[in-house]
Structure 1
């Protein structure tokens, strides 16, 4: 089997230096820092760390537009929870391609949701965060990005 070139990981699993590189890039893009030196100093990393990782890390939403994202949710079988999940999806203006929910076992169901991230869609990572924090959602995993 061929090795993957890209991985999707949650923020808590990413080393601090990489998160600081993302923040430095945001400062440069927003104009809050004029130079790499300024941005690196503001976030507390060296310029060499910035240059070493700048092309290797980016927020999930920066690369999601025009793609299909499939997520797996483990959620309680309670009335209205699926509707709340789909409401978050609709609010983000992404297109639902497929949806499959298993029959609940011990009050917990698995939901597989494939969405198409259209131009003009809102930040997908923010949408996933909102879904993950709904009462009754136990876990959310990104299965695939195409």
Structure 2
């Protein structure tokens, strides 16, 4: 029986430093700023063995999100225009909104679920989520599903 791979979405602050350095080394190679793997790993200060061990297992979220539907869950304060601000962030990043569901606010906070189609022209999804979280009145943003 073949074992399937499990995938997790975690925030950058929860990822060990060595994995972040592997991502950076891959970026240096892809951009041409490092000509060899040895050059890339020296620049980010990791061993070649660490690079080879993790290179196929870590990648920025945006690299795998294109062409998919992402369902987001968030809690937002009941303030005029806040939903519009959140939707504008999605539009500014070039994603396509498929569904929106907002609960009736309880104690001044509403639960919001949005399904978004990530297109080839969509900007960095991780940055889009960060931009939403930075809005005053947005309590949290989580990815519920990726299809």
Equivalent residue of 2:20, what SS? Answer: helix
Instruction: Give how far 1:30 is off.
Output: 0.9
Matched, 1:38 2:43: no
Q: Give the 4+ runs in structure 1 shifted more than 3 A.
A: none
The answer for unaligned runs of 5 or more in structure 2 is none
User: Pairwise mapping of residues 40-119 of structure 1 onto structure 2 (< 5 A)?
Assistant: 40-119=41-120
Aligned equivalents of 2:50, 2:131: Cα separation in 1: 32
Deviations along 1:85-131, one digit per CA (max 9) or x if unpaired, are 00000111111111101111111111101001112111111111101
Task: Flag structure 1 segments of 5+ consecutive residues without an equivalent.
Answer: none
Q: 1:135 deviation in Å?
A: 0.7
Please name the residue that 1:128 is paired with: 129
Show the counterpart of 1:16. Answer: 17
Aligned CA distance change for structure 1 residues 30 and 3 (closer, same or farther; 3 Å): closer
Distance in 1, matches of 2:21 and 2:81, equals 39
What is the Cα-based RMSD across aligned positions, in Å?
1.3
| TM-score normalised per structure 1 | 0.95
Distance 2:75 2:39 in 1: 43
In 2: Cα distance, 1:4 partner to 1:49 partner: 20
TM-score (norm 2): 0.95
Q: Report deviation, 1:132.
A: 1.0
After TM superposition, the structure 1 stretch with the greater mean CA deviation from structure 2, 3-12 or 95-104, is 3-12
